Amino acid sequence: YIPSVSSALVVGSVLGLLQTALLMFAAKPFLHIMGVKAGSPMLIPACRYLKLRSLGAPPVLLSLAMQGVFRGFKDTKTPLYATVAGDVTNIILDPILIFALHLGVTGAAIAHVISQYLISLILLWRLVNKVDIMPPSVKDLKFSRFLTCGFLLLARVIAVTSCVTLAASMAAHRGPIPMAAFQICLQIWLSTSLLADGLAVAGQAILASSFARGDHQKAVGAAARVLQLSIILGLALSTVIGIGLQFGSSIFTKDNSVLKLIHTAIPFVASTQPINSLAFVFDGVNFGASDY
């Protein structure tokens, strides 16, 4: 039995349920704050999508907590396999629910929620085979230390997501076409940026292990190497996106107005990739050194 594992699962479950309740009952006010007004054609589908997606909040937060646990075990394969299984399920369900069954954004939300529950179930199944997640008593849950580190990480997440949320709000205020272009660029930016997370996880695991053994020389070498690789990865992604979006943006939409805005944003999406890669890897290095 490892107290931090059970504590993480409890906190993830509680926060997920709170998020679901909040989004279910306050979807319209939140969308209004984000710039989706009462007469906007985005309101009804956005509200429906947000409420359905909120049902996936508990498994999302649980899976994030369990992925952190597996990283602590230096097991990066299990989260990878679980995530791939969920993503493949999502990819298969999306065209079926959105187009074949004509559910539109509702189908997209349902597919996402199903995939998130699948990921969580796989991770939970693997986790219970590794450790005993049931605490002997409530007193054995070590919330104080867990919440101290968790609060710092929560503040970091809020700071990061606030920037994206503000940008989405500004795009929504400008109407459906700018919002569509923003979402396409944002998803591409996030997808490519998250590739650096693999380097961050590797660096985090190696550094944590090195510090635990007192091998500071190996820790310094590992930190330097992953930072070097992050720069190379960032430059490569910047080149691929800069060229790829020029010719491949029509994959996402056929609307000329949206495509025009996407082409305007390409330099920003591409040029920030090296910065993103470094930021992710610096996160991993700091986490590996227990610096939150």
195 vs 168, more confident: 168
* pLDDT tens for each residue of 112-152: 999 999 999 999 999 999 998 887 777 777 767 666 666 77
In angstroms, the CA 278 to CA 158 distance is 20
* pLDDT tens for each residue of 4-58: 788 888 888 998 999 999 999 999 999 998 888 888 888 999 999 999 999 999 9
276 and 225 Cβ atoms separated by less than 8 Å: no
* pLDDT tens for each residue of 200-248: 888 888 888 888 788 888 888 988 999 999 999 999 999 999 999 888 9
What predicted TM-score, i.e. pTM, was given to this entire model? Answer: 0.80
Both tokens of 263, joined, read: 């082409």
How large is the average pLDDT for residues 252-278?
Answer: 93
Neighbours of 101 (CB within 10 A): 13
Distances (CA, A) of 141 to 11, 123, 145: 11, 21, 10
Rounded to a whole number, what is the distance in angstroms from the first to the last CA of the chain?
25
Compute and round to an integer the Cα radius of gyration of the chain: 21
Neighbours of 274 (CB within 10 A): 19
Neighbours of 41 (CB within 10 A): 10
* pLDDT tens for each residue of 67-107: 989 987 878 889 989 999 999 999 999 999 999 999 999 99
* pLDDT tens for each residue of 163-182: 888 999 999 988 899 999 99
Q: Note the pLDDT of residue 210.
A: 84
Phi, psi of 129 (to 5 degrees): -80, -15
Q: Is 203 exposed, middle or buried (0-12, 13-18, 19+ CB in 10 A)?
A: buried
User: Which bin fits 135, alpha (ψ -120 to 50), beta or left (φ > 0)?
Assistant: beta
